[in-house]
């Protein structure tokens, strides 16, 4: 369940713009649940839509500026002002007071709106996710008018998915919390050697536990200082002489602190930062990485690898695939870095469902010292996201031509995120497709496919000569929904044959293509493109997470499409279009 506590600073409740929007959305859901005045509900929803489409930060604008936002009447204005000062407002308090706590949790289940939740509550007396699961498993939910077997099965799947992800966090969402906790730990235990270890050290996309290693002068002293760490609630029954376990207060995040003597710090850091599979990899005919670590004949990580005839293996690659074999042959490449990226492709503007205008997106991209921007708003089939009708495409492309004159040598490339339709075809007729510099082809609808149908659908899109980049290949949303299953090898092989680039969607909820398939893609000669799928200027910051995913898979600058200069990528796009014309 999402918390309203800011994860940026978990020991104090600080409201921010997004949290205010979440609380306004919750108030609308609860008004619908309790059948409040529909005009009032529409008023709140209209105000929320206006605020969400705008680019003003609610925490920094004045009451006068807030009142000028379309749809923000006195009641919404008062609610926002109350939220900014007291983190709630009277109407929300009243609604929460008459709503069972379990109903608030049920409202967060995908596919269950307030009306259906109210029906479950009134007809079956369901007020918790546990009761909902029992009712589904007994078949009671399917018998309710408006539900049925299919809805019941979907609810079960969503409940199971939610339960399996309890206590898990996106790397991006918990990154700052863990970094802040690390600084606190250094203050609590000065003079100790301290390092983040575990999954976070390897930059795994989903984190369920924060782990640290502390090198102490003596294992018999120094641990007691951790009891002064007020952010952590320790579970000493699950702790021992070599590690303490606990949980971050106010956050569903487990923590574990490992202890060792300072002389053993590097050995333990190498062991605790690697996956079990990496430690089991054989270095020579006799010994694995884990066995080599026990020798303690090294003082640094670099020295450990060198002494064992291995090229240095970056920590994010210590996952237990073929990294040791590559290191033996000195074949671990120079990995991609953020500074290698020259442009940002796959972005949205107010032409479709973006928050900022094309000009704003372009100027900010230029301010960040990128050479180019690829704008790729949604295509017309994505009507729910303001997909572009043909006349809107023509208008946008004229604006791009004008902006390119103003912003040169910075350049905006004309793109579209074309929906891959149910039969695998792309949106728009050929005379429209040919007007774009590049096309990102993505699936957004009919996601409940089996592996055969999903793979065939993507294959047809890949074989379309207008497809430049395959967008977020599985459609997954980490911790929210599983992606549709695809035959990754078949898809990657088809991209190789058709010279289609595969996207690593850098949005922290997606990170799709999964890093586990990056190596195979490169081996087949398929280039990857780090794309933020940015719907606002701040979304460009997600490029960082795409790079992390690429590095885990061994991605190099040479195999990254948007490491090309503006001139070179223009030539790449032109060459692709020239082939189509033949």
DSSP string, 332-395: PPPBP-GGG--EEEEE--TTTT-SS-HHHHHHHHHHTT-SEEEE-PBBTT-GGGTPBPHHHHHH
Asked whether residue 72 carries a pLDDT value surpassing 50, the answer given is yes
Percent of the chain past pLDDT 90, that is, above it, reads 77
Residue 329: per-residue pLDDT: 96
Using CA atoms in the order 264, 269, 270, 273, what is the torsion angle rounded to 10 degrees? 160
pLDDT band for 9, please (50, 70, 90 cuts).
Answer: very low
Give CA–CA dist 133/410, Å, rounded.
54
**Taking the domain 167-273, which CATH number applies?**
3.30.460.10
Q: Distance from first CA to last CA of the chain, Å, rounded?
A: 54
User: Does the structure show a pLDDT above 80 at 54?
Assistant: no
Mean pLDDT to the nearest integer, 414-421: 97
Report the alpha-carbon distance of residue 442 to residue 444 in Å, rounded.
6
CATH class of 17-164: mainly alpha
388: region left, alpha or beta (phi > 0 left; psi from -120 to 50 alpha): beta
Least confident of 165-169, 204-208, 387-391, 396-400: 165-169
Whether the CA torsion 191, 249, 273, 553 is positive or negative: it is negative
Average pLDDT for 322-330: 96
Mean pLDDT of 229-243: 92
Mean pLDDT of 455-474: 98
Give residue 277's pLDDT: 97
Domain ranges within the chain, ordered by starting residue? 17-164, 167-273, 282-313+324-332, 338-581
Average pLDDT on 19-36 reads 92
Q: What is the pLDDT of residue 431?
A: 94
Average pLDDT over residues 526-540: 96
Rounded CA Rg of the chain: 26
Q: With the C-alpha atoms ordered 422, 427, 433, 435, is the resulting torsion angle positive or negative?
A: negative
Higher pLDDT, 157 or 430: 430
pLDDT of res. 417: 97
Report pLDDT for 541: 96
Task: Please choose, from the candidates 514, 540, 539, the residue with its C-alpha nearest in 3D space to the C-alpha of residue 528.
Answer: 514
- Closest by CA to 109, choosing from 455, 445, 481, 464, is 481
User: How confident is the model at residue 197, as a pLDDT?
Assistant: 98
Q: How many alpha carbons lie under 13 Å from residue 191 in its C-beta half-sphere?
A: 8
CA atoms within 13 A on the CB side of 466: 23
pLDDT beyond 90 at 250? no
The region of weakest confidence among 261-275, 378-392, 449-463 is 378-392
Q: Are strands 411-419 and 438-442 parallel, antiparallel or unpaired?
A: parallel
CA distances (Å), 146 to each of 138, 149, 151, 154, 377, in order? Answer: 17, 10, 9, 14, 35
Is 1 a residue whose pLDDT tops 70?
no
pLDDT in tens, 81-110: 999 888 889 999 999 999 998 999 899 888
Average pLDDT, the chain: 92
SS3 117: helix
CB 373 within 8 A of CB 437: no
- The arithmetic mean of pLDDT across residues 267-279, rounded, is 97
CB–CB of 479/174 below 8 Å?
no
Q: Please, which residues have CB within 8 angstroms of residue 101's CB and are 6 or more apart in sequence?
A: none
Bridge-partner residues for 246, per DSSP? 234, 255
In the chain, pLDDT over 70 holds for what percent of residues? Answer: 97
Q: Is the pLDDT of residue 127 over 60?
A: yes
Q: Compute the average pLDDT of residues 69-85.
A: 90
Instruction: Identify the weakest region by mean pLDDT among 7-11, 27-31, 103-107.
Output: 7-11
pLDDT at residue 345 greater than cutoff 90: yes
d(Cα 232, Cα 180) in Å, to the nearest integer?
Answer: 13
> With 90 as the cut, is the pLDDT of residue 59 above it?
no
Q: Mean per-residue pLDDT for 491-518?
A: 97
- Position 15 confidence tier, pLDDT thresholds 50, 70, 90: low
pLDDT of residue 444: 93
* Separation CA 376–CA 355 (nearest Å): 14
Report the pLDDT averaged over residues 563-580.
95
For 338-581, CATH number?
A: 3.20.20.140
In terms of pLDDT, which residue wins out, 109 or 496? 496
User: Per-residue pLDDT tens for 185-209?
Assistant: 999 999 999 999 999 999 999 999 9
């Amino acid at each position: 369940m999402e918390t309203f506590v800011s994860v940026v600073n978990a020991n104090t409740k600080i409201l921010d713009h997004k949290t205010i929007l979440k609380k306004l959305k919750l108030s609308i859901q609860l008004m619908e649940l309790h059948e409040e005045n529909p005009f009032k509900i529409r008023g709140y929803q209209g105000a929320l839509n206006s605020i969400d489409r705008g680019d003003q930060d609610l925490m920094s604008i004045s009451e006068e500026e807030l009142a000028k936002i379309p749809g923000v009447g006195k009641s919404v204005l008062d609610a926002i002002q109350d939220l900014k000062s007291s983190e709630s407002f009277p109407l929300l308090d009243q609604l929460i007071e008459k709503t069972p706590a379990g109903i608030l949790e049920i409202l967060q289940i995908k596919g269950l709106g307030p009306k259906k939740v109210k029906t479950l509550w009134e007809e079956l007396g369901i007020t918790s996710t546990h009761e909902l699961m029992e009712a589904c498993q007994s078949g009671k939910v399917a018998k309710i008018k408006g539900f049925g077997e299919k809805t019941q099965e979907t609810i079960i799947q969503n409940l199971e998915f939610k339960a399996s992800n309890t206590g898990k966090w996106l790397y991006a969402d918990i990154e700052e919390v863990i970094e802040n906790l690390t600084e606190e730990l250094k203050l609590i235990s000065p003079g100790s050697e301290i390092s983040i270890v575990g999954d976070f050290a390897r930059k795994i996309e989903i984190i369920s536990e924060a782990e640290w290693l502390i090198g102490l002068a003596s294992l018999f002293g120094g641990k007691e200082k951790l009891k002064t760490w007020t952010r952590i609630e320790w579970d000493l029954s699950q702790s021992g002489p070599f590690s303490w376990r606990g949980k971050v207060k106010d956050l569903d995040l487990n923590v574990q602190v490992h202890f060792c003597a300072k002389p053993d710090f590097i050995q333990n850091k190498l062991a605790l930062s690697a996956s079990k599979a990496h430690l089991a990899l054989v270095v020579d005919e006799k010994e694995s990485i884990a066995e080599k670590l026990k020798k303690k004949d090294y003082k640094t990580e670099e020295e450990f690898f060198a002494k064992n005839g291995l090229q240095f293996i970056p920590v994010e690659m210590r996952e237990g695939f073929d990294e040791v074999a590559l290191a033996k042959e000195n074949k671990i490449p120079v990995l991609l870095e953020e500074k290698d990226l020259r442009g940002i492709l796959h972005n949205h503007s107010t032409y479709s469902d973006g928050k900022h205008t094309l000009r704003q997106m372009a100027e900010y991209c230029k301010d960040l010292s990128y050479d180019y921007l690829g704008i790729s708003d949604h295509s017309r089939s994505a009507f729910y996201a303001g997909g572009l009708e043909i006349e809107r495409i023509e208008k946008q492309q004229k604006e791009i031509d004008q902006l390119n004159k103003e912003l040169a040598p910075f350049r905006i490339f004309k793109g579209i995120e074309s929906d891959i339709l149910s039969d695998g075809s792309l949106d728009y007729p050929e005379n429209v497709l040919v007007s774009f510099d590049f096309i990102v082809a993505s699936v957004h609808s009919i996601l409940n496919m089996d592996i055969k149908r999903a793979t065939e659908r993507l294959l047809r899109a890949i074989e379309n000569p207008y497809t430049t980049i395959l967008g977020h290949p599985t459609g997954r949303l980490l911790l929210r929904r599983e992606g549709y299953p695809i035959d990754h090898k078949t898809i990657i092989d088809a991209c190789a044959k058709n010279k289609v680039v595969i996207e690593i969607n850098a949005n922290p909820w997606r990170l799709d293509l999964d890093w586990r398939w990056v190596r195979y893609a490169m081996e087949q000669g398929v280039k990857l493109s780090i794309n933020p799928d940015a719907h606002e200027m701040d979304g460009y910051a997600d490029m960082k997470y795409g790079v992390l995913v690429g590095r885990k898979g061994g991605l190099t600058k040479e195999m990254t499409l948007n490491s090309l200069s503006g001139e070179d990528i223009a030539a790449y796009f032109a060459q692709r279009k020239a082939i189509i014309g033949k």
